Amino acid sequence: MSINLTILGCHSATPRVNAHPTSQFLDINNRTFLIDCGEGTQVQLRKYKLRFSKIQCIFISHLHGDHYYGLIGLISTFMLHKRSQELHIYGPKGLKEVITLQLKLSKTWINFGLFFHELTSKSSEIIYEDDKVEVHTIPLKHRVYTNGFLFKEKEGDRKLNMAKIIKYDEIERCDYRNLQLGKDFKNSDGSLVNNQILTFAPNPAKSYAFCSDTMYTESIVPIIKNCDLLYHETTFLKDKNTLAKTTMHSTALQAGSIAKAANVKKLIIGHFSSRYTNLNDFKQEAQEVFENTELASAGKEFVV
């Protein structure tokens, strides 16, 4: 299992009893991230029995309250639980000022490393990278500076072709690691055995793209091209196309069009306006152009 995404909240504007603002819990290649942190996020984490102590990094798309008002509460809970692991937060410039002022005025002293990485670039950039995963920004078009995030696995090790390996007496178990890393095998006489003879290609690297609040923009298509899983906001149906443009949000039809243009494998839609009661209308509209569409809902898991 490479990617496991749990939706914590997927509605717009103010939270309600059964409608929670945006937040997602992502496990990708044994890295655990939180994406956006709307009000009540930590309650949702508990409700779905997700170990928020595992969260290594938090990515905040923009500074509208329904996407980050739960952050200060979560940080305070980490402190009360005596977290020792560093926490890195990636988000727009100004986020550090908001959070540190709240901590200061409440005289809350954090007992773990809290690091803010403030974003200002209007072009896509790598903002996180380790040996297994990299994260790129997806510049979006909204009323304030906003980014989506593209989470990409790095290509794994090659797989050993034991049926071929056993034909070469000189290859020993201690050589296997080098073969997995793509190195050719050198015989004692100096001749080389090509790595591709002895191994299979690694599993294809998986990717997940999160596109928060944004108006329809084809500029994101090259960034998210061919990704395995795409979340794209759909605040309105196409009957409110003018309102979507005015408020710089998207319709379900537009989200489906982006998914089709980017040739993604699966589309998840969310950020539904409270004016709608039948959410299946969103799914049906997106499926007019992109069949493999699913609705986000709190507690729902998506596995790649």
Asked whether 212 and 233 are in contact (CB, 8 A), the reply is: yes
Q: Active-site residue among 27, 66, 213, 228?
A: 66
The reply to whether 157 belongs to the active site is no
Query: Which residues are part of the catalytic machinery?
Result: 66
